[in-house]
Structure 1
Amino acid sequence: MAHLQETEHKDRLVARVRRIAGQVAAIERAITGEAPCSETLHLAAAVRGAVSGLMDELVEDHLRAHVAAPGLSDAERAAGADELATVLKRHMR
């Protein structure tokens, strides 16, 4: 996401992705370690929630930078909206 110039914001997103990676690794350990089904399901539900939260933040960032930012041309706004619509269609499947 080229518009994520702010280092602190980028660092927070990367930290969030790394936490999600750790959660996915915990699912793998639960499966290979034959953890109870309920534990594995809870871990998977937590990952889904974490990814959903990340997606929400990324969508908001894109919306603010490529659709709602002052100074964008109508063509730039339309392109930003089209990109977002494409991603949301894929996400909603």
Structure 2
Amino acid sequence: MPHSPADKKKALTRVRRIKGQAEALERALESGADCAPVLQQLAALRGAVNGLMAEVMDSHIREQLAEAGPPEQLAQDLTTLVRTYLR
């Protein structure tokens, strides 16, 4: 989780942008928009979520490295984390 005020603000800005994209997608679906614009909106939404996830994951990894315990356990924990969220 982003801890500094600047990182927290950046993450919240991304979440608000994602919310706006999801609302636009909802409106497009409700209005019966063509598939191409809907697919484009879905791709943009997925990209925004992936970007947010990458930032939060980066913050988490840096935090874990700062509090690092045994290297083998840290490596296993980080590998599990990355595998979980890259599915």
- The TM-score with structure 2 as length reference comes to 0.82
4+ residue runs over 3 A deviation: 77-81, 84-87
Deviations 1:8-40 (A, max 9, x none): 210110111110011011111100011111000
Please tell me the residue identity of whatever aligns with 1:57. Answer: E
> Which of 25, 28, 31 lines up with 2:26 in the alignment?
28
Q: Is the 8 A contact 1:20 1:51 kept in 2?
A: yes
Q: Is 1:91 aligned to 2:65, yes or no?
A: no
* Structure-2 residue corresponding to 1:74: 69
Segments of structure 2 that go 5 or more residues without pairing to the other structure are none
Structure 1 residue runs of 5 or longer lacking an equivalent are: none
- Structure number with greater CO (CA < 8 Å, separation at least 6) is 2
1:40 aligns with 38
Percentage identity across aligned positions? 38
Aligned length: 87
